[in-house]
Amino acid sequence: MATYAIGDLQGCYSAFRQLLDLCAFDPARDRLWLVGDLVNRGPESLEVLRFVSGLGAAATVVLGNHDLYLLMLRAGLKRRTEDDTLAPVLAAPDCDELLNWLASRPLLHIEGQYVLLHAGLLPQWTVPKAQALATEVEDALTGKEAKKFLLHLIGSRPDHWENNLKGWGRLRVIVNAFTRMRFCTGDGRMVMRAKGPPAKAPEGTLPWFALPGRASRSHTIVCGHWSALGFYREEGLIALDSGYVWGGQLTALRLEDGEVFQIQA
């Protein structure tokens, strides 16, 4: 059995299947870890959702910001942007079935030394703390007030964590860290406007994973989201969004031995 962690698919189904062929992936034997953002930008989001949901237990998926955007669209809480490619999903006869499956995906998956998530963890969060906070969001997303929860996700404030946060603001901080964060100040304030590479970090900020004293260094974080960072490995971090949808690569890494597989756009 092999476990293949794969970067942001963003609706690029054909490339995804080519990558699985390159890996010799067998769903009867192997497993996929997908870092979120299954949908949008690319032209085949519907095909991605149908295929991945059909893999059952062979695929472990965490939610990304584009996945949440799709759920907001389905709930009528956001207008479609000019560059989204989600119309075929919203018009599909199995839309509700697929999006109910998507809404039930976690924000965080922990297995052994590895932690799978989309964007990042705030520096003061230990892995057990992050798991508890992720569960709060997952319960809200599948609960009776799920639509209200999605409405209150919009926005970037509060921009930092405090243990006494309550209500929608508390949940918004958790979601923004897990699904949108790239840069933080030294005291853990998220700077959402910056999307460039680490070399162009806004003054007074660092990549979230580089902050001194980060409490989640006990594990190896497997993430995506940051195409300007690209495929990147260091001790305790595997970043897999290598920007296929922007002309880069779609990347898979086999966790058992670290071998890398890539499809070039």
From the list 156, 152, 184, the residue with the least C-alpha distance to 168 is 152
User: What's residue 79's pLDDT?
Assistant: 75
Q: What 8-state DSSP symbol labels residue 166? A: -
Give the CA count within 13 Å in the CB-facing half-sphere of 3: 16
Domain count, the chain: 1
The CATH number assigned to the domain holding 122 equals 3.60.21.10
**How many whole angstroms separate alpha carbon 130 and alpha carbon 178?**
9
How many Cβ atoms sit within 10 Å of the Cβ of residue 1? Answer: 8
Q: Domain limits at 231?
A: 3-264
**What is the 3 state secondary structure string of 15-70?**
HHHHHHHHHCCCCCCCEEEECCCCCCCCCCHHHHHHHHHHCHHHEEECCCHHHHHH
From the list 220, 204, 191, 9, the residue with the least C-alpha distance to 117 is 220
pLDDT in tens, the chain (265 residues): 999 999 999 999 999 999 999 999 999 999 999 999 999 999 999 999 999 999 999 999 999 999 999 999 999 887 777 789 999 999 999 999 999 999 999 999 999 999 999 999 999 999 999 999 999 999 999 999 999 999 999 899 999 999 999 999 999 999 999 999 999 999 999 999 899 999 999 999 999 999 999 999 999 999 999 999 999 999 999 999 999 999 999 999 999 999 999 999 9
User: What's residue 17's pLDDT?
Assistant: 98
